[in-house]
Amino acid sequence: SSELTQDPAVSVALGQTVRIACQGDSLRSYFASWYQQKPGQPPVLVIYGKNNRPSGIPDRFSGSSSGNTASLTITGAQAEDEADYYCNSRDSSGNHPVEFGGGTKLTVL
């Protein structure tokens, strides 16, 4: 089981703002990174570090962190944002260097 916890599913009305959360002890020490995955495609990095977007990622995607919780915010969600979103962090427990959250299915209504 994952040591990063995400809600299995979240929905948002078209054009509204949605926050996807990721909780875990490692997030007290490390920033999360976030990935968008659409059916049949590999994950795509959308946020990393404190709040960095790779080239080509729209600025409606942003990241934040507080305590043991990291959040991905989509401001003005679009239909094409409907996807699975995964958080990822370095593992602070010493068991292994990497862990993923279980994923959140985002539905845009």
Partner 1 sequence: QLQLQESGPGLVKPSETLSLTCTVSGGSINNSNYYWDWIRQPPGRGLEWIGGVYYRGSTYYKPSLKSRVTISVDTSKNQFSLKLNSVTAADTAVYYCARRYVIWSGAHFDYWGQGTPVTVSS
Positions that interact with partner 1 (CB under 8 A) = 2, 30-33, 35, 37, 42-45, 48-50, 54, 84, 86, 88-90, 95-103
In the bound complex, what is the minimum distance in angstroms from residue 32's beta carbon to partner 1?
7
Our CB check for partner 1 shows the closer of 10 and 76 to be: 10
19-to-41, 64, 73 alpha-carbon distances in Å = 23, 10, 4
Query: Cβ(83)–Cβ(36) under 8 Å?
Result: yes
Our CB check for partner 1 shows the closer of 15 and 49 to be: 49
In the bound complex, what is the minimum distance in angstroms from residue 66's beta carbon to partner 1?
15
In the bound complex, what is the minimum distance in angstroms from residue 52's beta carbon to partner 1?
9
Q: Which residues, in sequence order, are CB contacts of 63 under 8 Å at separation 6+?
A: 31, 32, 34, 47, 48, 50, 51, 52, 70, 71, 72, 73
**Amino acid letter for position 11:** S
Question: Tokens standing for 105?
Answer: 């299915």
In the bound complex, what is the minimum distance in angstroms from residue 38's beta carbon to partner 1?
12
Our CB check for partner 1 shows the closer of 76 and 89 to be: 89
Question: Tokens standing for 101?
Answer: 């959250």
